[in-house]
Every structure is written in structure tokens, then in C-alpha cells.
Amino acid sequence: MGMILRYLDKDTLERRRVVLACKFWEKALDVEGTAVMVKEVLADWGIEVTQIDMECTDNASVMISCIDNHFKGWKRLACNPHTQQLSVNDVLVGSYTKECVPVESGAQTESFKRQVWAGKGPEEVALLFRRVRY
């Protein structure tokens, strides 16, 4: 999981960003486990939970519940690129099929599956990207 802190510098009013963590969490990534990880990362940096006003997360139910249940003073924002990706995925679902392809490997013939485009035409995908803008 990655955590980035974004803030305004109080003296210059410039936007700043600091990567707080990008790590593999070996414990359960359920609501409670995620809350423990967030609190540990903040503690590593000496940041109090009460110093944070807003959190931007993906749309995973675990993240939504984590913020709602463990960080009640925080306002949660949905991450715009993650939200847009959901729209794109809905259009492209089923766009690839897998077909078996024989491949000779020495004296043996093996087969593997490769992905083949079988979805909507490029004009439909282009229309989606015109509708979904940053």
C-alpha cells in the first residue's frame, strides 16, 4: 500500500507532497488491519490522526469502511483516476478472450493461452475516452 501526504506549505502556500510509505503489508488487509497500518505509518512520521482533515482513497469497500469506522474526523474523497478506471473497465469487460496456441519447444509441442482482442471497436473506446475526462 502506498501513502502520500499532500499539503500546502503554510509560509509559501505552495503545494507539497511527501511519500510516507509504499510497503507490503503482511497482516490482514481487512478494515481493522488497514487502520492499524495507516496509524503505524502516521506514527512513524510523528503525525497525529487529528492533524489530518481529508483522505483520498480508491473505491475499495475496505478503504471506505476503514475511514468511516476508524478515522471519523476525516473527510474521504474518491480517487478520480480509480473512479474513471471503473468506467473504462465496464466498457472493456469481456474484450479479451483466451485461445490456445500450439508452440513447439524442442521435440515437444505445448500449448499456452494468449489474449486476443474480441471487444468493442476502436470508435466505441474512443467515444468513452472523450466522455471520461480528467
Q: Is the pLDDT of residue 3 over 80?
A: yes
Q: Is the pLDDT of residue 13 over 90?
A: yes
Same-domain check for residues 56 and 112: no
Q: Which of 34, 58, 78 is the last residue of a domain?
A: 78
Q: Which of 78, 99, 120 is the last residue of a domain?
A: 78
Distance CA 115, CA 76 (A): 37
Predicted confidence (pLDDT) per residue in 54-100, tens digit = 888 888 888 889 999 999 889 988 887 777 777 776 666 666 666 77
Q: Which of 78, 95, 118 is the last residue of a domain?
A: 78
Same-domain check for residues 51 and 12: yes
Residue-number span of the structural domain to which 34 is assigned: 2-78
What mean pLDDT comes out for the span 19-45?
87
Q: Is the pLDDT of residue 15 over 90?
A: yes
Same-domain check for residues 96 and 53: no
Q: Is the pLDDT of residue 39 over 90?
A: yes
Same-domain check for residues 27 and 73: yes
Same-domain check for residues 74 and 90: no
Please give, one letter per residue, the 3-state secondary structure of the chain. CEEEEEEECCCCCCEEEEEEEECCCCCCCCHHHHHHHHHHHHHHCCCCHHHCCEEEECCCHHHHHHHHHHCCCCEEEECHHHHHHHHHHHHHCCCEEEEEEEEEECCEEEEEEEEEECCCCHHHHHHHHHHCCC
Same-domain check for residues 30 and 64: yes
Same-domain check for residues 25 and 66: yes
Least confident of 21-30, 47-56, 96-105: 96-105
How many domains are there within the chain?
2
Q: Which residues pair with 9 in a beta bridge?
A: none
Same-domain check for residues 74 and 113: no
What is residue 134's predicted lDDT score, i.e. its pLDDT?
Answer: 46
Q: Is the pLDDT of residue 106 over 70?
A: no
Same-domain check for residues 44 and 91: no
Same-domain check for residues 91 and 57: no
Q: Is the pLDDT of residue 44 over 60?
A: yes
Mean of per-residue pLDDT scores for the chain = 79
What is residue 112's predicted lDDT score, i.e. its pLDDT?
Answer: 64
Q: Which residues pair with 29 in a beta bridge?
A: none
Same-domain check for residues 74 and 87: no
pLDDT band at 47 (very low <50, low <70, confident <90, very high): very high
What is residue 101's predicted lDDT score, i.e. its pLDDT?
Answer: 66
Same-domain check for residues 18 and 32: yes
